[in-house]
């Protein structure tokens, strides 16, 4: 397809990042980075489109850290792509000025990777990249939503009070990368063939390839929910990928996972959180964290 081959030779997706990274000569650099030729993905996607499908691993390492007299619920989360194609988000202009928000294009291909497929269309996302000063790199907004809800059960059944929220729900931004491979059993369960690592640049095109995880450790700056003053009891930490459906996916119904935990206060009034149950083992929701050795 002419359009696609033009695009792949130019500033699209990974090609764009490589071109920018190695500062190609005048011909390519003369073209504005935003001169992407793929059409906007319309209401009906091309039949050949291979969309990603985001899922959350259930949160782990749930614990409380006290800081400045506030109790912060800390946790590790992670996203994986079990879809037919990559989640690829390319900045419309170079990610250089930390004071600017930068638009993104979600690139949709007709193959399992951007190397084996042709670019079919793009979804434009306004102000999607933001510079994260504590991490000194760029994040995509609206990637994952976090909420803490009081349990209406013993933590096994995923029944929580939808009218009450502890702390505030928030939508976290991330630098999306191919960070850890799925375990072989997970690849087999989703019938996925693992492509090579493609996305690893927080200053360029972000993405998660099929069969890869991006995980965010509990020590990640800013990744916590303030639960100061929450009464002792059982709670759910609920995480929902792509909560505003900003990114095109094959399935928005499998984006959630959760872990329940008990909150207690010891004799010194220090808050202590202990994991109880997770959505994967009890309800088949979400995915298990991959082995840390898969990097």
Provide the token pair at 157.
Answer: 């059944």
Q: How far is the CB of 138 from Zn ion (least distance, A)?
A: 8
Q: Does 14 bind Zn ion (CB under 5 A)?
A: no
Nearer to Zn ion, 59 or 195 (CB): 59
Nearer to Zn ion, 214 or 249 (CB): 214
Distance of CA 131 to the CA centre of its chain: 16
Residue closest to 203 by CA, chosen among 247, 124, 141, 139: 139
Q: CA 91 to CA 244: how far, in whole Å?
A: 19
Output the DSSP codes for 160-201. Answer: B-TT--EEEEEEEEE-----EEPPHHHHHHTT-PPPPP----
Nearer to Zn ion, 41 or 177 (CB): 177
CA distances from 156 to 116, 160, 235, 241, 258 (A): 43, 11, 11, 21, 10
Nearer to Zn ion, 135 or 262 (CB): 135
Nearer to Zn ion, 175 or 246 (CB): 175
Span interacting with Zn ion, options 167-175, 186-194, 206-214, 242-250, rule CB under 5 A: 167-175
Q: CA 252 to CA 241: how far, in whole Å?
A: 9
Number of residues in contact with Zn ion under rule CB under 5 A:
2
Which residues contact residue 79 at a Cβ distance below 8 angstroms, ignoring those fewer than 6 apart?
54, 55, 56, 57, 143, 144, 174, 176, 208, 213, 214, 241
Q: How far is the CB of 133 from Zn ion (least distance, A)?
A: 10
Residue closest to 79 by CA, chosen among 291, 238, 253, 289: 289
Q: How far is the CB of 65 from Zn ion (least distance, A)?
A: 19
Residues 119-148 that bind Zn ion (CB under 5 A): 135
Nearer to Zn ion, 173 or 260 (CB): 173
Provide the token pair at 201.
Answer: 């640049």
Provide the token pair at 199.
Answer: 């996305």
Residues 169-198 that bind Zn ion (CB under 5 A): 175
Q: Which residue is nearest to Zn ion (CB)?
A: 135
Span interacting with Zn ion, options 39-47, 63-71, 168-176, 184-192, rule CB under 5 A: 168-176
Q: How far is the CB of 139 from Zn ion (least distance, A)?
A: 6
Nearer to Zn ion, 72 or 139 (CB): 139
Residues 190-249 that bind Zn ion (CB under 5 A): none
Q: How far is the CB of 239 from Zn ion (least distance, A)?
A: 17
Q: How far is the CB of 179 from Zn ion (least distance, A)?
A: 12
Residues in touch with Zn ion (CB under 5 A):
135, 175
């Amino acid at each position: 397809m002419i359009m696609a081959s033009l695009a792949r030779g130019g500033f699209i997706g990974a090609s764009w990042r490589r071109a920018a990274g190695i500062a190609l000569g005048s011909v390519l650099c003369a073209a504005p980075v935003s001169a992407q030729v793929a059409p906007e993905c319309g209401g009906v996607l091309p039949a050949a489109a291979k969309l990603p499908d985001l899922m959350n691993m259930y949160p782990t390492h749930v614990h409380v850290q006290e800081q400045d007299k506030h109790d912060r619920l800390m946790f590790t989360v992670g996203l994986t792509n079990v879809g037919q194609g990559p989640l690829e988000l390319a900045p419309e202009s170079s990610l250089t000025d930390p004071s600017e928000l930068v638009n993104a294009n979600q690139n949709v291909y007709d193959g399992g990777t951007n190397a084996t497929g042709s670019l079919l269309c793009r979804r434009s996302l306004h102000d999607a990249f933001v510079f994260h000063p504590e991490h000194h790199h760029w994040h995509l907004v609206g990637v994952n939503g976090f909420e803490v809800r009081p349990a209406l059960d013993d933590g096994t059944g995923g029944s929580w009070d939808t009218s009450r929220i502890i702390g505030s729900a928030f939508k976290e931004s991330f630098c999306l990368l191919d960070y850890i491979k799925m375990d072989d059993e997970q690849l087999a369960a989703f019938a996925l063939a693992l492509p090579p690592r493609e996305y690893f640049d927080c200053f360029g095109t972000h993405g998660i390839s099929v069969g890869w995880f991006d995980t965010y450790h509990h020590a990640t700056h800013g990744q916590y929910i303030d639960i100061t003053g929450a009464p002792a009891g059982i709670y759910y930490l609920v995480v929902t990928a792509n909560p505003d459906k900003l990114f095109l996916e094959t399935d928005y119904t499998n984006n959630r996972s959760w872990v329940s935990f008990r909150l207690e206060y010891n004799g010194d009034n220090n808050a202590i959180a202990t994991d109880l149950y997770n959505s994967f083992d009890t309800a088949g929701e979400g995915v298990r964290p991959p082995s840390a050795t898969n990097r």
